[in-house]
Amino acid sequence: MRKDEFAEKVAKKVDETPKHVGNIIDIEWETIAEVLKKGDEVVFPFGKFVLHKRPARTGRNPLTGETIKIAARVVPQFKPGKKFKDYFAK
């Protein structure tokens, strides 16, 4: 499901326009990114967004077989909550 389809479904449930809901979704994601960039977590009842540190490692170029160094980096990660996991376990 694409963002515009999602916004349309939510808009019908809350009696709003899909454009307004789409703007709220954009603001929500921007805010989550800002909070994560500061080093904090974003916790919702269905799960939480955190930053995950990936250490530096050695990799291999699949075309040439050459060994390469992959730098350490920080990536956003979503960890689903218990209720969210249980919903799909049924």
Inform me whether the pLDDT recorded for 10 exceeds 90.
yes
- The count of C-alpha atoms lying within 13 angstroms of the C-alpha of 72, restricted to the half-sphere facing its C-beta, is 5
Q: What was the pLDDT predicted at 38?
A: 94
- Which tokens sit at 39? 């080093």
Give the pLDDT of residue 90: 73
Placement of tokens 């709003």 in the chain: 16
Average pLDDT over residues 3-28: 95
Residue 20 neighbours by CB under 8 Å, 6+ apart = 11
Phi, psi of 63 (to 5 degrees): -80, -45
pLDDT digits (tens, 9 = 90+) for 35-64: 999 999 999 999 999 999 999 999 999 999
Q: What is the CATH number of the domain that holds 60?
A: 4.10.520.10
**Single-letter amino acid, residue 43:** V
- Mean of pLDDT values over 69-75: 96
Mean pLDDT of 14-32: 96
| Structural domains in the chain (count) | 1
Range of the domain at 63: 3-89
Distance, in Å, from the CA atom of 30 to the CA atom of 34, rounded to the nearest integer, reads 6
